[in-house]
Chains A and B, each alone.
Chain A
Amino acid sequence: MSLTALHISPTAFTPEVKFDPIAGKFEIKGRSIPENAHEFYNPLIDWVKTYSENAAESTSVDVYFDYLNTSSSKSLMHFFNALSTISGKEVSINWLHTKDDEAMKEAGEDFNTIVNLPFNIVATDSI
């Protein structure tokens, strides 16, 4: 089953999404503060479920947020859980945050504690 690349443009309340199923490069970037995050994330989770049936040898997911609400955090847990069902292949998450953003560093540490995937927290100068 072939899966086409997913690209969603950012809005004031939702992030940019770029999923490349061939290269196994996923990116979620920007602001995620919608009041009903599942409406935004459920299609991404469905996409990942299809992808997991025929995943690339290695999948790398870059995640960067400047704002993240708790509604989005819940949906992200579902998203990460969907990724963790990919078996026999490499999957890793890179949680990026700017150096001075304590809140996003802390959010990454929360996920690192409960997500069952290789999880790297990376401080950068700019995204």
Chain B
Amino acid sequence: MEEENVILSFKGIITADLLTSVLHLMEAKMETMDEAPRTRKRVFSILVECLQNIYHHLDDNPTEADFEAHNRSAVVLISKVNNQFLIRTGNCINIPKIMELKERLDMINSLDKDGLREMYQTSLSEAAMSPKATAGLGMIDIARKSGNKLDYEFLEIDTKIGFFCLNILID
């Protein structure tokens, strides 16, 4: 039977301060749990990338009127399911941006461990060439560290705004 224990959950507007608090809280919580240091590090590293991804994604749309404050909130849920950590995130996304993100996620999911390493290294060296940050390095890192496929879903809120759900099961 599936057993799920919620470790931490959050719903609201993601700010830099909040991001910091959630990470501090999660780290403190994990210290009290009987987990291998390796697992703790993995979960924490993946959480860092997840939260910073959401935060930066929101940062891309500061002036878009369609992206109002209520759409700037996100959901984060960290739990343990049958002894494995599961991080679930949900955040709003502009509909026109969905296709690009979906293609990137499918690309990442089509690769094995070696393919992911190669894609990461290519993206990292490209990042060093251009002053503008290349998007998606975080997603590749999450896929590499979790050891699982990125389980995602896009929901439609209205004609302009969608909702992006990402579930990361950590080996």
Contacts and interface: CB of A to CB of B under 8 A. Distances in A.
Contacts of B19: 35
Contacts of A125: none
B24 A12 contact: yes
Interface stretch (A15-23, A49-57, A66-74, A88-96): A66-74
Contacts of B121: 110, 113-114
A73 B124 contact: yes
B141 A70 contact: yes
A101 interface: yes
A81 interface: yes
A73 B125 CA distance: 10
B13 to A, nearest CB: 15
A33 B128 CA distance: 18
Nearest to B41: A103
A69 B134 CA distance: 14
9 contacts: A70-B141, A71-B133, A74-B124, A101-B41, A102-B38, A103-B45, A114-B121, A114-B125, A114-B128
A100 B38 contact: yes
Interface residues of B, number: 30
Given A13-B20, A103-B41, A33 B48 contact: yes
Nearest to A81: B128
Interface in A60-110: 66-67, 69-71, 73-74, 77-78, 81, 100-103, 106, 110
B45 A74 contact: no
Interface residues of A, number: 22
Contacts of B23: 33
B145 interface: yes
Contacts of B44: 67
Interface string B3-29: 000000000000010011001100000
Interface string B117-145: 10011001101100001100110010011
Contacts of A114: 121, 124-125, 128
Instruction: Give the 5 A-B CB pairs with smallest separation, nearest first.
Output: A77-B128, A70-B137, A74-B127, A114-B125, A35-B52
A114 B145 CA distance: 20
A102 to B, nearest CB: 7
A19 B123 CA distance: 29
B81 to A, nearest CB: 22
A53 B16 CA distance: 37
B38 A110 contact: no
